[in-house]
Structure 1
Amino acid sequence: MDLYHDCVKDLSGKIGKIMKLNGRIRRMDSMMIESNIRFLSRMELIYTCISKLVVYLSKKQPDMVSDPLKHYAGPNEYNRVFYHQRNDDMEAMIQTLLTDSDCLLELCKTDFEEATEYQLFVRCLSDQTVVENDKRRLRTREDGTMNSSALQNPSDPDATYRNKSDKLYRGYTANLEETVGKNGSVVTDYQFDKNTHTDSHFLQETLSQMEKSEEEIILVTDGGYDGQDNAGFHLTEIIVSAVHIKNSAAPRFIKRLPRLLPQKMPPTEPKARDICKARNSAI
């Protein structure tokens, strides 16, 4: 149960009633939420996961950590490795990290599978490396591209990677639903998920949870909410499209927006300031 979501939805619903919004016309749009994490190179990521696990082991069982691994727990070791090393030493450093990773795996065995530090360490190795002929090496393109759910930074293990409109994002995505009427508009619902969650999936979830209504509902979206997973849907507008729903049991049809909206209603294409208001209200 998400108490914060329930509170926001209940409050915005009451605001909508005060504004006399009947919920017949709604807009939907998504936005990327950047995680507050630093970009890490593959070498930095592996090192950080090793370091966090060694620090954890040093606190739990100090005598367990062997001398060759103890330096990973040093407070200044990160700076020494990444800022005081020559570039031509990087290949040797990567190989050292991979060798030490195997030593840690052998050291931990199955005794620390419940520890978060160990889980992130194993996840990182699974994402970034492969074992070939009993030797660990970095994953290459020939081994297959890495999944977008690969660990980006152990400080936020749930953050995912996505390339959208030629821009790289690491974090999450929010989907905003805005109820529109003659007296204005208000964000009445939102969804929050990993940024690999597509607009099409958000649309499916919204439609499945939508209560049966005797009055037709117009849901205005952009072309990103279309997809093969939405059986029976075909968006006829790329910039501004509409999903026309008679009721939850009836077939769902897509029609052009101008045919659906009353002539006295304001234009439905959201202006920049409307989108900003919607996003600010959700935040």
Structure 2
Amino acid sequence: MQLRKMMVMLAAVSTMSFALTACGDDATTPESCSSDTDCASGFCNTAASVCMDTCESAADCPDTEKECAALAGATNTAKVCQCKTNQLCNEDDSTSLVCGAVSKRCEEPGTNTGCTKNSDCGTGETCDTATGQCVGGTTTCSGEGRATCAYGSACYSGTCQAPTAPTCENYTNFGNKSALGTTGPIIFKVATTSAATDSFCPASAPKRVKITISAYSSTPFPATSAELNGLFYVLVNGTAQAPSISSSQGNYVVTGTNRDRADIVANLCVAASSNTASLGYYFTGGNFFCFQSTY
């Protein structure tokens, strides 16, 4: 009799564990609501009329809405799963969703358009802080970098677009996605500059590959590479480390009237026979940029 009770208890615990795991792996479509009684679980975010999923930690939340915290302005102080960036909302390769400024759920642009800053809005939109509403901005542009695009987007082939959503293993295995966002420096381009045997690298990995990372920022970049903070190189296994940037002239170039653009040459030492590498870069508070370098 005791053995049977124990088996039933173990089965129940196993079922609960599976349910919690599923909650953390799968994104869900928000339920619409006008009060808490309309929600199957959690509570109603009445400002956006969507149900919020409660959580104890970020592990209980889907990768697209990974932040577990109390909802700002809500009377219910329970912690809920919330989105943090447009980029994380599009992990499934979709580029149509945004992180709702009011709902704090991944949603179609214009669904809940309240905002406090440009990064709360969809591509090509800007935030009218007087009304707290996203308004249609320019979708055409010239040049590259931010140009006339909303913060978090960049000018590609004459159109404002979000940088390509990351799908590389470097990003998949990266465990600190909460460090990403759309308020820090935005990487909009990465390119292979050169690759050659160089005394800069050790004999075990004698080929030096130079990778140029181009980014813009809402705050001035420092005058020298020695003062640069917050830029990380992510290995294929997801480990983040500071990239190697030499102080030689031309390896760190800052331009713009407010030093808002930086072109940074990072070094990568590889085996003599190596001809390709999967790379990942990000600034704290910024986007994650995947790049497949061929040299």
When normalised by structure 2's length, the TM-score is: 0.25
Which structure has more relative contact order (CA 8 Å, sep 6+)? It is 1
When normalised by structure 1's length, the TM-score is: 0.26
Greater strand share, structure number: 2
Greater helix share, structure number: 1
Decide which structure has the larger Cα Rg and report it: 1
